[in-house]
Structure 1
Amino acid sequence: MRRTVTLRLLAGLSATAMGAAGLVALTTPQASAAVGSATGFASRNGGTTGGAGGQTVRATTGTQIHAALCNRASSSTPITIHVEGTINHGNTTKVSGSSCNTAADVIELKQISNVTILGVGNGAVFDQLGIHIREASNIIIQNVTVRNVKKSGSPTSNGGDAIGMEANVRNVWVDHVTLEASGGESQGFDGLFDMKNNTQYVTLSYSILRNSGRGGLVGSSESDLSNGFVTYHNNLYENIDSRTPLLRGGVGHVYNNHFVRINESGINSRAGARAKVDNNYFQNSKDVLGTFYTSQAGYWQVSGNTFDNVTWSSRSGDTNPAGPNPTSNTSVSIPYSYRLDAASCVPSIVRETAGANKGIRTSNGNCTPTNPTPGPTNPTPGPTNPTPGPTNPTPGPTNPGGTNLSIGAGSDGSSKASGTSYGDVRDGNMSTAWSPSGTTGSISIKWDAAKRISRVNIREASGAVGNVRGWRLLNHDNGAVLASGTTAGVISFSATTLRKVTFEITSASGTPRIAEFETYA
C-alpha cells in the first residue's frame, strides 16, 4: 500500500532556496525505480538499478531535483525523482547539503550514486539545460527530453552537451530519451551524448538523437582512452553531421539503430576502439562507418546491416571509410545476452518505440513492439547472439577505486623493448609505457610485504589499444591463474593475498604497449 508523506523540511537550505524549491512529495519505497531493467553494458559490473528500493520524489523544477538529492541521508541513499514539466535556467538553482554537490543552470549529478530521473505525466523537458554526470555511479535517466543545450551564446549549460559524463563514472542507463539541438558547433551546440575521463558501463537505448552537428563521443582526445564498454541499441540518429558515435579506445556495441541523414561521418572508430556493429539500418547518409579525422585507426566487426542510399568517400589521408562494402577487421566478444531484430524492420520498430513519451515500449526481438513490464527483476533472457570464441571474465560488482597499490611498488618482467622501462607501468603517467621485446611477454608488480588484491586495470597506451589479444593474470607466488581473457582493461577475480602479480601477454595483433598496470584491494 502506498502512502504520501512530506519531504523533511529541506534541511540545510537557505530561506531563498527553500522558497524556490517548494514542497516535494515522497512516496514509500517502490518495487522498481525505473520501467524495465538495464540492458547492454549497463547490466554488467554489478548492474544498473538507479534508485530502486528508495523513496520516490516528485519535482517540477530543477531546484526541486537538486533539493531531493541534497536531502537524502547520504550521497548513496537510493532515490527516484519523478519529473514533470519544463526544467530551465529560471527554475534551476544550486542547493547545498551533505549528500549532494549541485550547481546552478545545470542538473548536476556529481559525487553521488543510486539515482533515477524518470519523466512522468505530461512529460519532462530540460530546455536549454544539460544533465551533467560526474564522479557518479548507478544512474538511470528515462523518458525525458533534453533540447538546445549551448556551450556558447546565451544561455549556456553543461559545456553544450545534452547529457555529459566525465571523471570516474560507472553504470549509467539512459533509456527512451529525446536529445536534440538546433544546429552545430557554429550555432553554439556541442554533443548530445558525451563520455570522457574514465566513464564505463553505459547503455543508450530506445532514444532519439537529432538535428545536431555532433551525436556523441567516447573519449575527449586520442589520449583519453580510459572509457569504454558502451552499448547503443534501438536508437534513431537523424540529421546529425558526425559522431554517431565517435569511439576513442574501448569497446562499443552498436545494434538495431536507425541512422537517417548522417551528413559527414557516422560511427567513427579510432585510436584502437573496437565496435561491434549489428543489424543497423543506414539510410540516405554518407560514410556511416570507418576511421575519420585521425591517423590512429579503429576497428569494427560488422554483420546484418542494411545500407540504403549510403555514399562513401574515397580513402585518402585521414579519411578511411569502411565502405562501400564494409567487412570486419576485428572480432568483439559481448558478455551479455541481447535480442536482434532483422535490419529490415529496424526503421519501423525504432519509429514506434524510440524517444520520450512513447510509452516506454521495447522490441521483443521478433520485429514486434511490446508494452513495458515494470518490476525490479531482469526479464527472462530470450534468443541471444553471442560472439563465438572466448569471452573476458565478468567484471566484479565494484569499480577500481581507492588506492592504486602499484604506485610505490616494484616491477619487473620478461623483457623490455628499447626505450621502455618496467617502471613505466606504475608511474601514474599514461604517456610512458612498457613493451616486451616481441609481441608477447610478461610484466609484474611486486611488493616487499604481501598485499590482498581483487582487481587490476591494464591500461594500454594511446595508439596501441586493442593490440593485446590474449592474456593470463598470474599469482606469481604459486603460479596460479587468477583470470584470462582477450581484451585488456579492468580484471576482477577472487581476492588473493600475494607479493607479486604478473600480467602475461600470450597473443597480440601488434607490439603491446602497457601504460599502467594498476592494482586494487
Structure 2
Amino acid sequence: MRITPRRRATLLATAATASALVAGVLTAATGPAAAAPTDLVGWATQNGGTTGGGSAGTTTVTSASALTSAVGSSSAAVIRVSGTINCSGMLRVRSNKTILGNSGAAIVGCGFNINGDRNVIIRNLTFRNWNDDAINVQSSATNVWIDHNTFSNGYDGAVDIKRGSDFVTVSWNHVFNHDKSMLLGHSDDNAAEDTGHLRVTYHHNWFDASTQRHPRVRFGNPVHVYNNYYYKNSGYGVASTMSAGVLVEGNYFDNVKDPYHLGEASSGPGTLVARNNYFVSSGSGQAGGSVKSIPYSYSLDSASNVKSIVTGGAGAGRISV
C-alpha cells in the first residue's frame, strides 16, 4: 500500500503524541496558548513587566521527569500541570515560563528554584510536603509573579526571595499548617548584594494560623504588604529588619498577638509604616521611621472587608487558568 505524504504526516503525529503521553508530557504546538493574565499588580509590573511564557505554545505535564524538563528548558513556554506530581529537591525554572495548575494540580515533595532567571509566573498550584523550599527566588532573579497557590506542611520557606532578586509580586496565596512562610533577604551580612533590590509586593494572601515570616524582611525598600488576612499567627505577622522599609497597609489582623514589629532575633531594626489596618483581638504592632514611596498604581480594599475577600478568593482552585 502506498503511503501518501499526508498519511505519513498523520502517522508520525500520532506516534509522537503517543510517545509524549507515555513520557508524561503532551505538547500542543498549534492552537492558542493560555491567555496572558491581566490582573497583575505590584512590583512585578515594573522593569518591563512580567509576562511569563506569553504566547508560547502550551505543554501539559503529568510526571516529575516531564515537569523537570519543561521548566528547565531554555525556550519560552506555558506549562500546565495536571494531577499530582511527586518529586524531591528543587526543580530549576528558567526564564520566560508560565506554570499553571489545572484543577486539583499538586506538587508534592519538591519545590521550584528560580535562580538568576527572569520573567516567571507560577499560578494555581498546591504545594505540600516540600523538603527544601516550595518556591525559592534567588541570585538576582527578576520579574516573578507567584499567584493563587496553596502551601502547607513544608520543611522550610513557602516563598523565599533573596540574593539581590527584585520586582516580585506574591498575591492571593493560602498558607496553612506551616511554620516559616515567606522570607525576604536571607542573611544579615548580605547588604552589598541586597541593598537597592528585594522590592516585593505581598497582597491578598491568607496567612492561616501559619507561625512566622509573613514576611520577614531584610534590606528591601519599599516592600509593600497590603490587604492580607492574618489569622492566629502564633509567632508574628511582619518583621522589618536590617534597614528594610516596609509599608503595612490595609491588612486584617485576626487574633494575632504580634502583628508587626521592628527587628527580629539578632537582626537589627528596619523601618515600618503602618496605615489603615484592621485589628480583631490582636496587638497594636510596632512601627517607626519612613519608607520610600510606592511607584505603581493599585486599588486598596477596605481593611474591614479583607477577611471575606481573601478567604473567598485566595489559594489554588479559585481562578480559571
Fold similarity call, TM over 0.5 = yes
Distance 1:118 1:357 in 2: 11
Task: Specify the alignment match of 2:9 in structure 1.
Answer: none
Distance 1:79 1:223 in 2: 36
**Which one of the candidate residues 249, 254, 258 is aligned to 1:283?**
254
Aligned partners of 2:24 and 2:63 also within 8 Å: no
Q: Find the residue that maps to 1:128 and give its secondary structure.
A: strand
Task: Specify the alignment match of 1:243 in structure 2.
Answer: 213
Distance 2:295 2:59 in 1: 35
CA deviation map 1:402-425 (0-9, x unaligned): xxxxxxxxxxxxxxxxxxxxxxxx
Kindly provide the amino acid, as one letter, of the partner of residue 240 in structure 1. S
Distance 2:303 2:224 in 1: 15
1:19: how far off?
9.2
CA deviation map 1:121-163 (0-9, x unaligned): x32100122111112100000100101212xxxxxxxxx2111
Paired-residue identity, %: 35
Matches within 5 A, 1:350-499: 350-359=310-319
1:25: how far off?
2.5
CA deviation map 1:433-476 (0-9, x unaligned): xxxxxxxxxxxxxxxxxxxxxxxxxxxxxxxxxxxxxxxxxxxx
Aligned: 1:336 with 2:296: yes
Task: Specify the alignment match of 2:48 in structure 1.
Answer: 46
Q: Report the structure, 1 or 2, having the larger strand content.
A: 1
1:34: how far off?
4.4
Task: Specify the alignment match of 2:200 in structure 1.
Answer: 230
1:24: how far off?
1.9
Task: Specify the alignment match of 2:3 in structure 1.
Answer: none
CA deviation map 1:345-382 (0-9, x unaligned): 0000001110000125xxxxxxxxxxxxx8xxxxxxxx
Relative CO higher for 1 or 2, CA cutoff 8 Å, sep ≥ 6?
A: 2
Give the number of the structure whose alpha-carbon radius of gyration is greater.
1
Q: Report the structure, 1 or 2, having the larger helix content.
A: 2
Aligned partners of 2:20 and 2:26 also within 8 Å: no
Are the structure 2 counterparts of residues 338 and 264 from structure 1 closer, same or farther at C-alpha, using a change threshold of 3 Å?
same
Gaps of 5+ in 1: 11-16, 90-103, 151-159, 183-188, 313-320, 361-373, 375-521
Q: Find the residue that maps to 2:312 and give its secondary structure.
A: helix
Aligned: 1:26 with 2:22: no
Aligned partners of 2:183 and 2:215 also within 8 Å: yes
Task: Specify the alignment match of 1:253 in structure 2.
Answer: 224
Distance 1:21 1:67 in 2: 11
TM-score normalized by the length of structure 2: 0.87
Distance 1:169 1:212 in 2: 25
Task: Specify the alignment match of 2:114 in structure 1.
Answer: 133
Aligned partners of 1:7 and 1:26 also within 8 Å: no
Are the structure 2 counterparts of residues 143 and 18 from structure 1 closer, same or farther at C-alpha, using a change threshold of 3 Å?
closer
Distance 1:53 1:8 in 2: 26
1:32: how far off?
4.7
1:66: how far off?
2.5
Distance 2:200 2:48 in 1: 15
Kindly provide the amino acid, as one letter, of the partner of residue 297 in structure 2. S
Are the structure 2 counterparts of residues 337 and 22 from structure 1 closer, same or farther at C-alpha, using a change threshold of 3 Å?
same
Q: Find the residue that maps to 1:88 and give its secondary structure.
A: strand
Distance 1:222 1:135 in 2: 21
TM-score normalized by the length of structure 1: 0.55
Distance 1:124 1:332 in 2: 39
CA deviation map 1:194-246 (0-9, x unaligned): 01111111101111112211111111111223141100001100112211100
